[in-house]
């Protein structure tokens, strides 16, 4: 019986070396995303550059981060023991509060635009909506991944 040969850079590598290489790749990928986030924050907050000057980098970083977290949830890399409503609400509210504080500091302290409470509230509504959509997206892929793993275990 012939064994299936894998193709790619790990064709003639044992499992231990392959696992180590994949961990290094994952760490470097995460460091790249964190570096991009740092660069965007420095350009926006410290250097005061307009977002239009690096909007493409910001969009790429956000999409990349969402895909990374989604993949981690789908393949079970992020261990979620039990999906509880209280935990989901805590995570959601935490992200909304942090996003709201960031929004306030960005517009009223760093950019010194002196936005009114109404204008800040309009921006916080966007934070609330985007955070909710992202959380729903993450929960969906977590549940799909869990179902996939249960199916594989049954076979």
Domain ranges of the chain: 14-79, 82-155
Q: What is the pLDDT of residue 8?
A: 63
The predicted-structure confidence for 126-150, as pLDDT tens digits, reads as follows 889 988 998 898 888 888 888 888 8
**Confidence band (pLDDT; 50, 70, 90) for 1?**
very low
DSSP 6: P
Residue 3 has pLDDT above 80, yes or no: no
Contact 73, 138 (CB under 8 A): yes
Q: What is the pLDDT of residue 97?
A: 92
Q: What is the pLDDT of residue 93?
A: 92
CA 75 to chain centre: 15
Q: How far apart are CA 115 and CA 140, in angstroms?
A: 36
Output phi, psi for 106, to 5 deg: -60, -50
Average pLDDT over residues 50-73: 81
Q: What is the pLDDT of residue 6?
A: 55
Residue 4 has pLDDT above 60, yes or no: no
Residue 81 has pLDDT above 80, yes or no: no
Residues of the chain with pLDDT > 70, as a percent, come to: 93
Mean pLDDT of the chain: 82
Closest among 42, 30, 14, 113 to 71, alpha carbons compared: 30
Q: What is the pLDDT of residue 125?
A: 92
Range from 43-52, 78-87, 139-148 that averages highest in pLDDT: 139-148
Give whole-number Cα distances, 59 to 136, 142, 150, in Å: 19, 23, 34
């Amino acid at each position: 019986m012939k064994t299936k040969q894998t193709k790619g850079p790990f064709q003639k590598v044992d499992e231990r070396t392959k696992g180590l290489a994949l961990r290094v790749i994952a760490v470097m990928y995460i460091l790249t995303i964190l570096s991009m986030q740092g660069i965007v924050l420095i350009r926006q907050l410290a250097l005061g550059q307009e977002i239009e000057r690096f909007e493409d980098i910001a969009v790429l970083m956000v999409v990349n981060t969402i895909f990374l977290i989604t993949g981690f949830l789908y393949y079970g890399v992020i261990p979620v023991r039990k999906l509880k409503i209280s935990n989901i609400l805590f995570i959601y509210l935490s992200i909304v509060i942090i996003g709201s504080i960031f929004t306030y500091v960005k517009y009223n302290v760093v950019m010194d635009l002196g936005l009114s409470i109404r204008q800040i509230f309009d921006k916080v509504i966007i934070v609330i909506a985007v955070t909710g959509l992202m959380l729903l997206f993450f929960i969906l892929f977590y549940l799909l991944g869990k179902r996939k793993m249960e199916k594989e275990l049954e076979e």
